């Protein structure tokens, strides 16, 4: 059963829920509207006996939730987007959870910095990566696959791990809900959601690159190198603007003022510009960015649209550009496979 009725179910075993993006209102997404992505059943965890183990370090240690909460508390906002958000719009259809555009949300996370935990455990200078392992586990069914059950796990380069990664025990002021990773999850600012491992049970500091399932087979894409495709793990989110309203198929009044609005996000650099087209991409006009930029959070935007006097179908598009000049491609990039869906997405509406 879907435990969060405000969300749309994209599968219950494992649990996958998304926000109806047309319901976008709050800059900080309420917990009950925040998308849920699971790979295996949600683990049931007793917080009293639960420990976070840190291995591959000078002084391997185990930390209880109480001990983590006693460390310096850090609060950040971070927008997380599932790497497959928008997948149902790909042509031809591909495998994977058939997300519309609501597998994205922005929350305020509280916890301890990963770098503080690494320092406490005496992680040394020759480390190359930190592997984050969750308690969620199960069998992979499609080959190529490991022969036995695996736990969800993903690694971070040591530089990112030491920069701004949070081990969060609270989301918007409340303890994490089970489906959001209770009692502890990673929040990796700027990266697609697959990096923000939930239900953490272990950190392994390693001197060699990790090639676990979720960064070698799954959550990867093909990058050209010297004319040859090479498989690369997904990392940072791609710059993207999404239209919340009007939504696809919406009927809008003719010859009226309509407030087009939505959100835009990027990774390392902030969103510098959002443009809207109301003629299927032939011409573009700048939208207004709202509020002030918040580091690692999305930016809301709006655009005042004078709808046509004549009834008919209209195709709207939005596109974002970040401060480094990165923008969205007009067409789908085939090398991205089933991920990083940030080409222009047409929203067709009816003017009446």
In the complex, the residues that contact a second copy under the rule CB under 8 A are 55-56, 95, 131, 133, 143-144, 146-148, 150-151, 153, 204, 206, 209-213, 216-217, 220, 222, 225-226, 228-232, 334-335, 337
CB 237 within 8 A of CB 269: no
Minimum CB–partner distance for residue 225 and a second copy (Å): 7
CB nearer to a second copy: give 228 or 257: 228
Closer of 127 and 177 to a second copy (Cβ):
127
Q: How far is the CB of 46 from a second copy (least distance, A)?
A: 21
| φ, ψ for residue 240, nearest 5 deg | -165, 140
Give me the least distance between CB of 212 and a second copy, in Å please: 6
Q: What is the nearest approach in angstroms of a second copy to the Cβ of residue 92?
A: 12
- Cβ atoms within 10 Å, residue 49: 7
Rounded distance between C-alpha atoms, residue 13 and residue 6, angstroms: 18
List, as one string, the DSSP characters of 109-139: EEEEEHHHHHHHTT--TT--EEEEEEEEEE-
- Taking the complex as a whole, how short is the minimal distance between the CB of residue 204 and a second copy, in angstroms? 5
Rounded distance, CA 59 to CA 55, Å?
8
CB of 152 to a second copy, least distance (A): 10
Report the C-alpha gap between 46 and 51 in whole angstroms: 10
Establish how many alpha carbons lie within 13 A of residue 163's alpha carbon, considering only the half-sphere containing its beta carbon. 12
| 86's tokens | 């928008």
Angstrom distance (rounded) from CA 208 to CA 129? 7
| Closer of 218 and 322 to a second copy (Cβ) | 218
Residue at token pair 């935990």: 117
Kindly tell me which of 78 and 130 has the beta carbon lying closer to a second copy. 130
Tokens standing for 325?
């000049």
Helix (H) or strand (E) holding 214: helix 213-216
Distance in angstroms (rounded) separating the CA atoms of residues 51 and 49: 6
Give the whole-angstrom CA distance, residue 87 versus residue 111: 31
By beta-carbon proximity to a second copy, the closer residue of 232 and 251 is 232
Give me the least distance between CB of 160 and a second copy, in Å please.
17
The least CB distance from residue 120 to a second copy, in Å, is: 20
CB nearer a second copy, residue 9 or residue 216: 216
Distance separating alpha carbons of residues 197 and 214, to the nearest angstrom: 11
């Amino acid at each position: 059963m879907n435990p969060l009725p405000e969300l749309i179910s994209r599968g219950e075993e494992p649990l996958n829920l998304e926000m109806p993006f047309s319901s976008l209102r709050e800059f900080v997404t309420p917990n009950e509207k925040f998308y849920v992505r699971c790979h295996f059943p949600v683990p049931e965890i007793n917080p009293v006996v639960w420990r976070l183990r840190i291995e591959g370090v000078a002084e391997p240690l185990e930390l209880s939730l109480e001990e983590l909460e006693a460390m310096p508390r850090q609060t950040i906002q971070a927008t997380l987007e599932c790497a497959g958000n928008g997948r149902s719009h790909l042509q031809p259809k591909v495998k994977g959870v058939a997300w519309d555009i609501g597998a994205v949300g922005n929350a305020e996370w509280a916890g301890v910095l990963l770098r503080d935990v690494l320092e406490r455990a005496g992680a040394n200078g020759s480390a190359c990566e930190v592997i984050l392992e969750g308690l969620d586990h199960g069998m992979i069914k499609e080959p190529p696959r490991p022969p036995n059950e695996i736990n969800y796990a993903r690694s971070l380069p040591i530089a990112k791990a030491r920069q701004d990664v949070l081990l969060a025990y609270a989301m918007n002021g409340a303890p994490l809900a089970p489906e959001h990773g209770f009692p502890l999850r990673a929040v990796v600012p700027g990266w697609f959601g697959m990096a923000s491992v939930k239900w953490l049970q272990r950190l392994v500091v390693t001197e060699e690159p990790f090639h676990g399932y979720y960064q070698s087979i799954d959550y990867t894409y093909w990058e050209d190198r010297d004319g040859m495709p090479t498989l690369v793990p997904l990392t940072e989110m791609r710059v993207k603007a999404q239209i919340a309203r009007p939504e696809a198929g919406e009927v809008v009044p003719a010859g009226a003022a309509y407030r087009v609005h939505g959100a835009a996000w990027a990774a390392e650099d902030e969103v510098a510009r959002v443009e809207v087209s109301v003629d299927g991409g032939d011409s573009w006009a700048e939208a207004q960015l709202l509020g002030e930029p918040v580091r690692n959070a999305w930016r809301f935007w709006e655009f005042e649209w004078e709808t046509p006097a004549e009834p008919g179908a209209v195709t709207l598009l939005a596109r974002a550009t970040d401060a480094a000049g990165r923008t969205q491609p007009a067409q789908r990039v085939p090398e991205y496979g089933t991920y990083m869906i940030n080409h222009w997405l047409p929203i067709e509406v009816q003017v009446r």
